[in-house]
Structure 1
Amino acid sequence: MDRRSFLKNASIGATAAAATTLAAPAVRAQTTTEMVIVSTWPRDFPGVGTSAQRLAKRISELTEGRIATQYYAAGERVGAFDSFDEVASGNAQAYLGADYYWKGKNPAWAFFTAVPFGLTYTEIDAWMKFGGGQALWDELGDEFGLKCMAAGNTGSQMGGWFNKEVNTADDLKGLKMRMPGLGGDVLAKLGASPVSLPGGQIYENLVSGAIDATEWIGPWNDYYLKLYEAAKYYYYPGFHEPGSQLSLGMNKSWYSKLPDIDKQIIEAACMEENGKQMAETNWNNGIFLDKLTNEHGVKLRKFSDEIYDAFGKASDEVFQEAIETNDITKRTYESFVAARSNVGRWMLLADTGYTEMRNRVLGISV
């Protein structure tokens, strides 16, 4: 073989080898991780339900299918209030819900959703990210084998639906009212009978008279539960849930085995949905408040100062009892109080101060 033929053949061989080397990654198999997500929310329910479904889909999209999510609404795999145990046990990889549902396991869980006279969306977001809230949440989750992330917020909630007017704290005595979390404990202090029900069971219990009153979320979500069919008095402002943070709670053993990139993607997806749900809720609440009052004859009522003062006194008693149960609840409460004072004073000066003056000048009112 002459030199020219050798060089020609060598070049062809090298090109073929290079082509084979470059093509190899294109046929590399992708590992798929299953992520079964159970929820405390009804399927397709506007707001909390659709937000949860959107997040489950988003995680799969952002990981390009490396994490294959399977979403089950409340009752489709386990009951709404069984979601915690389903994930802690490893039978499912994650839940989407409100962590104050688990206060019976430890009162500290309530602080990471909402507590009476608690933090607004802006305030809890600051506490979680920069005030030590996430570290405390992680510590609490470790006790149960969970890793939790903020994954939504319903903002300031209404005080609730009543089938009669309530003008004094005495009017609350004997009232059977759906209210979970520490807010329900406050009602009990005032002589009411708090009932904890998942969203999908509220309407039937209110219509049947099994409960006399209920809170759910706000005008948008309450409209779709048709609570106006059973009660016409709609009270504000809610003392119990000023900025309800929702959670993606993951089995920590499962989560810890994920590649760092997928952990970061899940966190990014949760942060995206946390802001998106709040924006969506704020946009729709004003629209559906008009529908409730103008189309369905709902009567807006503001809690009296006397009732609100009673809520405040009872809340202090509930907190004192809660912090005596264990160390992490006490430390979470102390951190929460510091955040409420720090961020709350700034919000009073900035956001609240501005909106009050703006609304006065423009004539915006309830």
Structure 2
Amino acid sequence: MDRRKFIRGVASGAAGLGAASSLAAPALAQDKPKIQWRCVSSFPRSLPALFGASEYIARYVGEMTDGAFEIQPFAAGEIVPGGQVLDAVQSDTVEMGHTAAYYYVGKDPTFAFGTTVPFMLNARQQNAWFYRGGGNELLDKFFEKQGIFARPAGNTGAQMGGWYRKEINSLADMKGLKMRIAGLAGEVMAKLGVVPQQIPAGDIYAALEKGTLDAVEFVGPYDDEKLGFVKVAPYYYYPAWWEGGAATHAMISLDKWNDLPKPYQAVLKAACEAANGNMLATYDWENPKAIRSLVGSGAQLRPFGQEIMQASFKAAGEVMTDISARNADFKTLYDSQTGFRRESYLWDQLAEYNFDTFMMIQQRQGAI
């Protein structure tokens, strides 16, 4: 064989393979425009599960794009206050925010479905509704009217019912109680005689310590321990019937989202979904340790009595029915969730409930 001809043939083949590889490479590898975004959070850096979601998304996006798509997270108050994240995104002050949608029920009560609605879905059901039950698509239509694109980016799981200066033994004990509480739960609590307050995380402790508040709910043991509520309000009630599975969202300026290259959109969606699962795993891991620590620090665990639970359930139904009658967007999402709730609890009472109940009995008996 002619050695020169052979070498020329190999070189020609290699060049052809190189060209084919270039043509076959995914769009993200071919063209990675440099993009820098800012993401403002509703949460302080002292709450690593909540603020950490924006850091997680930023790291995931950066690694997936080799640093071409850079998102810089900012904690509450560093650019805008925690309660103004949506406003900052809508006004294009920043490209993106990480927040709880139900903080903005004052703008439209439909925002509540982005986080949670009283006596509705737990975390697993919430995710099933978002990703398989059309929840994301229904919310897309609502969010588009608000000038944003959003995706679930965290869930706390079922939350605790809050910290109280005094014991709550009956509905009468709820009358006149000044309580920090978020979302539509404030309207429900008002029907029970509570005076609801909405205060950002960083200001809650001072208000509770000064007596401006009689009670406060935030999330659960992992976060609540860091915020120090046990020092000023020893009674720790459960469950938060208003937060069976509270989701957080990444909210993005709709214009910025539409301008984002399609591969970057896919990466950002994937990052949000990853952050969604990571937050729930974090709380499931950290809460057991934190509740032991809180009890050791003097927290006195108390369940809400059946009188309070039943009255709250009835009041929540009245609030939801009233809002549905005057808000078509709200009714659309409420009907979707209630339909799924009915079917989901039909199933959940079989395998999951009975398995968990048996295992909890074993735990109480010291068998595990």
Q: Aligned partners of 1:98 and 1:346: how far apart in 2? A: 28
Q: Residue 4 of structure 1 corresponds to which residue in structure 2?
A: none
> Where does the alignment leave 5 or more consecutive residues of structure 1 unmatched?
1-6
Contact kept? 2:113, 2:333, Cα under 8 Å: yes
Q: Aligned partners of 1:211 and 1:230: how far apart in 2? A: 11
Contact kept? 1:177, 1:192, Cα under 8 Å: yes
Residue 51 of structure 1, CA deviation = 2.5
Contact kept? 1:60, 1:67, Cα under 8 Å: yes
Q: Deviations over 1:171-192 (max 9, x none)?
A: 1110000001011111111111
Q: Residue 181 of structure 2 corresponds to which residue in structure 1?
A: 179
Residue 324 of structure 1, CA deviation = 2.2
Q: Residue 93 of structure 1 corresponds to which residue in structure 2?
A: 95
Contact kept? 2:170, 2:307, Cα under 8 Å: yes
Contact kept? 2:122, 2:244, Cα under 8 Å: yes
Question: Match for 1:307: what amino acid?
Answer: I
* 2:234 paired with 1:195: no
Q: Aligned partners of 1:205 and 1:56: how far apart in 2? A: 33
Give secondary structure in 2 for the equivalent of 1:70.
Answer: strand
Q: Which sits farther off after the overlay, 341-350 or 145-154?
A: 341-350
Q: CA RMSD in A?
A: 2.3
Q: Residue 307 of structure 1 corresponds to which residue in structure 2?
A: 308
Q: Residue 110 of structure 2 corresponds to which residue in structure 1?
A: 108
Q: 2:220 aligns with which of 205, 218, 221?
A: 218
* 2:344 paired with 1:343: yes
Question: Match for 1:300: what amino acid?
Answer: L
Residues 323, 29 of structure 1: CA spacing in aligned structure 2 closer, same or farther, 3 A cutoff? Answer: closer
Residue 345 of structure 1, CA deviation = 1.8
1:16-165 to 2 correspondences below 5 Å: 30-165=32-167
Contact kept? 1:123, 1:344, Cα under 8 Å: no
Contact kept? 2:95, 2:253, Cα under 8 Å: yes
Give secondary structure in 2 for the equivalent of 1:118.
Answer: coil
1:247-262 to 2 correspondences below 5 Å: 247-262=249-264
Residue 363 of structure 1, CA deviation = 2.7
Q: Aligned partners of 2:354 and 2:88: how far apart in 1? A: 45
Q: Residue 236 of structure 1 corresponds to which residue in structure 2?
A: 238
Q: Residue 208 of structure 1 corresponds to which residue in structure 2?
A: 210
Residues 182, 219 of structure 1: CA spacing in aligned structure 2 closer, same or farther, 3 A cutoff? Answer: same
Report percent identity of matched pairs. 35
Q: Deviations over 1:35-91 (max 9, x none)?
A: 111110002423212222222222222222221112111110011111101101222
Contact kept? 2:122, 2:245, Cα under 8 Å: yes
Question: Match for 1:324: what amino acid?
Answer: A
Give secondary structure in 2 for the equivalent of 1:330.
Answer: helix
Contact kept? 1:87, 1:250, Cα under 8 Å: yes
Residue 29 of structure 1, CA deviation = 8.1
Residues 138, 66 of structure 1: CA spacing in aligned structure 2 closer, same or farther, 3 A cutoff? Answer: same
Q: Residue 3 of structure 1 corresponds to which residue in structure 2?
A: none
Residue 136 of structure 1, CA deviation = 0.9
Q: Aligned partners of 1:66 and 1:318: how far apart in 2? A: 47
Q: Residue 25 of structure 2 corresponds to which residue in structure 1?
A: none
Q: Aligned partners of 1:360 and 1:46: how far apart in 2? A: 32
Q: Deviations over 1:269-327 (max 9, x none)?
A: 11111111101101110101000102x11100011000111111110111112112321
Q: Aligned partners of 1:84 and 1:257: how far apart in 2? A: 19
Contact kept? 1:44, 1:50, Cα under 8 Å: no
Contact kept? 1:46, 1:224, Cα under 8 Å: no
* 2:331 paired with 1:330: yes
Number of equivalenced pairs: 352
Q: Aligned partners of 1:129 and 1:361: how far apart in 2? A: 34
Give secondary structure in 2 for the equivalent of 1:150.
Answer: strand
Q: Aligned partners of 1:297 and 1:356: how far apart in 2? A: 27
Give secondary structure in 1 for the equivalent of 2:48.
Answer: coil
Residue 339 of structure 1, CA deviation = 1.2
Q: Aligned partners of 1:260 and 1:197: how far apart in 2? A: 38
Residue 354 of structure 1, CA deviation = 1.3
Q: Aligned partners of 1:124 and 1:279: how far apart in 2? A: 15
Contact kept? 2:62, 2:69, Cα under 8 Å: yes
Q: Aligned partners of 1:339 and 1:80: how far apart in 2? A: 32
Q: Aligned partners of 1:51 and 1:135: how far apart in 2? A: 22
Residues 72, 361 of structure 1: CA spacing in aligned structure 2 closer, same or farther, 3 A cutoff? Answer: closer
Residue 364 of structure 1, CA deviation = 5.9
Q: Residue 26 of structure 2 corresponds to which residue in structure 1?
A: none
**Largest Rg, 1 or 2:** 1
Q: 1:278 aligns with which of 266, 280, 290?
A: 280
Residue 30 of structure 1, CA deviation = 4.6
Q: Residue 319 of structure 2 corresponds to which residue in structure 1?
A: 318
Under a length normalisation based on structure 1, what TM-score does the superposition of the two structures give? Answer: 0.91
